[in-house]
């Protein structure tokens, strides 16, 4: 059992959980993820690790409630426990000094991006970060990202905070102003990563993306997480989760994420009704 040490709401339906998980924390590196099961009848869902505290033996996960499992998790309080956290899984991010790194985070994707940006800065890279969100209230980890970056650009779709526009607009603007990047790391919704990659490919900036497809075991056993990279089938759980974004078939990946859409809806509705709670309520006051 893994005790919840902290549960705070950091945006609309966006929750930060700190779990007691010493075995997971011990050897974890940036870029890795865990598979979590929150009850005895629960499904196994992959979640990227935002942070660890090796001394405390804890891991931090930032989770947006989007379905039954994440909504049920959001009902839990500090002091409650969940049965299973498996990991750390996947390959770690390859962090090395390469020069100027552009970190692009979209919405909740900023959570897994933060340890990578921090790692990149710690080994001596210049880090420029762009954080995008639909609106101000969905912007997370701004302060942490500011401390891990030499420069930080904020964009929102509705212009409620920072520059109005998309992260791709901000990338283009930086490049137009003469900035040169040796590497881009993009983490966020698949559609954002797709368009960032289309742009950085044109601009000739190598780009890493972190994929979060549907998984069951996370050890290469089921193949549910298969993605096409450079024309070959890869398993995101063991070959990834990070890949060369210019080679990823994002359209296939996005389609595969919808495989259980109808089932998920049914399960969420059943839970919402039974427990009198729903998505789109928590964290709006911020």
Partner 1 sequence: MKTKERLQLPPIDMPEQDPKVRVKNLNEVPTGYTPEMAMAEAKRCIQCKRPFCTEGCPVGIDIPAFIQLIEDGDFKGAIRKMKETNLLPAICGRVCPQEEQCQLVCTVGKSKKDPALSVNIGRLERFIADYEREHGEVELPPKPEPTGKKVAIVGGGPAGLTVAGDLIKHGHEVTVYEAFHKAGGVLIYGIPEFRLPKAIVQKEVDYLEKLGVVFKYNYVVGKTTPMKVLVEENDAVFVGTGAGLPRFMRVEGENLLGVYSANEYLTRANLMKAYSFPEASDTPLMKGKTVVTVGGGNVAMDCARTALRMGAKRSLIVYRRAEEQMPARLEEIHHAKQEGVEFRILQNPTKLIGDDKGWLKQVELLKMELGEPDSSGRRSPVPIKDSEFIEDIDVMIVAIGNSPNPLIPATFKELECTNWGGIIINESTGQTSVRGVFAGGDIVLGAATVILAMGHGRQAAEAMNMYLNSGRWSDLDEALSQERADVR
Q: Interface with partner 1 by CB under 8 A: which residues?
A: 23-24, 26-27, 32, 35, 37, 39, 41-44, 68-69, 83-89, 216-224, 226-228, 233, 238, 252, 255-256, 258-260, 263-264, 266-267, 270
Measured from the CB atom, is 69 or 149 closer to partner 1?
69
Structure tokens, 62: 């930032």
| Minimum CB distance to partner 1 smaller for 158 or for 260 | 260
Q: Which of 43, 28, 2 is nearest to 90 (CA)?
A: 28
Tokens of 111: 């959570």
For partner 1, the closer CB: 41 or 143? 41
Residue that has been written with the tokens 């990202």 in this structure: 145
How far apart are CB 256 and partner 1 at their closest, in Å?
6
Q: Are 83 and 1 in contact (CB under 8 A)?
A: yes
- Report the nearest approach of partner 1 to the CB of residue 91 (Å): 10
- The C-alpha atoms of residue 257 and residue 28 are separated, in whole angstroms, by 26
Say which DSSP state 222 is in. S
- Name 4's Cβ contacts closer than 8 Å, sequence gap at least 6: 17, 18, 19, 20, 76, 77, 78, 79, 80, 81, 82
Of the two residues 67 and 162, which places its CB atom closer to partner 1 in the complex?
67
- The answer to whether residues 65 and 13 touch, using CB atoms and an 8 Å cutoff, is yes
**Residues 69-83 as b or e (16 or more Cβ within 10 Å = b):** bbbbbbebeeeeebe
Cβ 259 to partner 1, closest distance in Å? 5
**Could you tell me the smallest distance in angstroms from the CB atom of residue 137 to partner 1?**
29
10 vs 216 by CB, closer to partner 1: 216
Across-strand partners of 84? 37
Nearer CB in complex with partner 1: 147/258: 258
For residues 284 and 9, what is the distance between their CA atoms, to the nearest angstrom?
Answer: 10
Residue with smaller CB distance to partner 1, 80 or 157:
80
Closest listed residue to residue 171, CA positions, set 119, 241, 95, 105: 105
As measured in angstroms, the least distance from the Cβ of 112 to partner 1 is 17
Tokens of 272: 């919402």
Q: Please report where in the chains the tokens 């994929």 appear, as a residue.
A: 211
- Cβ closer to partner 1: 124 or 223? 223
On the question of a cis peptide bond just before residue 241, with omega within 30 degrees of 0, the verdict is yes
Q: How many CB atoms lie within 10 A of CB 42?
A: 16
């Amino acid at each position: 059992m893994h005790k919840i040490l902290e549960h705070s709401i950091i945006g609309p339906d966006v929750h930060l959980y700190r779990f007691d998980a010493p075995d997971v924390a011990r050897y974890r590196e940036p870029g890795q993820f865990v598979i979590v099961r929150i009850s005895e009848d629960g499904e196994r869902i992959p979640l990227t690790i935002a942070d660890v505290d090796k001394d405390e033996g804890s891991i931090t996960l930032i989770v947006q409630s989007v379905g039954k499992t994440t909504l049920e998790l959001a009902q839990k309080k500090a002091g409650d426990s969940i049965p299973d956290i498996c990991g750390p899984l996947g390959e770690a991010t390859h962090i090395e000094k390469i020069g100027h790194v552009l970190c692009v985070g979209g919405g909740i994707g900023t959570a897994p991006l933060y340890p990578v940006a921090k790692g990149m800065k710690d080994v001596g890279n210049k880090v420029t970060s762009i954080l995008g969100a639909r609106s101000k209230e969905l912007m997370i980890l701004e302060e942490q990202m500011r401390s891990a970056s030499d420069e930080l650009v904020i964009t929102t779709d509705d212009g409620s905070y920072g520059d109005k526009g998309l992260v791709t607009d901000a990338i283009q603007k930086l490049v137009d102003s003469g900035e040169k990047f040796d590497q881009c790391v993009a983490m966020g919704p698949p559609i954002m990563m797709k368009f960032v990659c289309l742009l950085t490919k044109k601009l000739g900036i190598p780009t890493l993306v972190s994929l979060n497809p549907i998984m069951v075991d996370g050890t290469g056993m089921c193949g549910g997480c298969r993605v096409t990279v450079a024309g070959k089938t890869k398993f995101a759980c063991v070959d990834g989760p990070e890949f060369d974004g210019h080679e990823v078939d994002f359209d296939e990946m996005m389609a595969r994420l919808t495989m259980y859409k109808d089932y998920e809806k049914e399960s969420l509705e059943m839970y919402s009704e039974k427990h009198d709670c729903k998505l789109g309520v928590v964290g709006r006051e911020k």
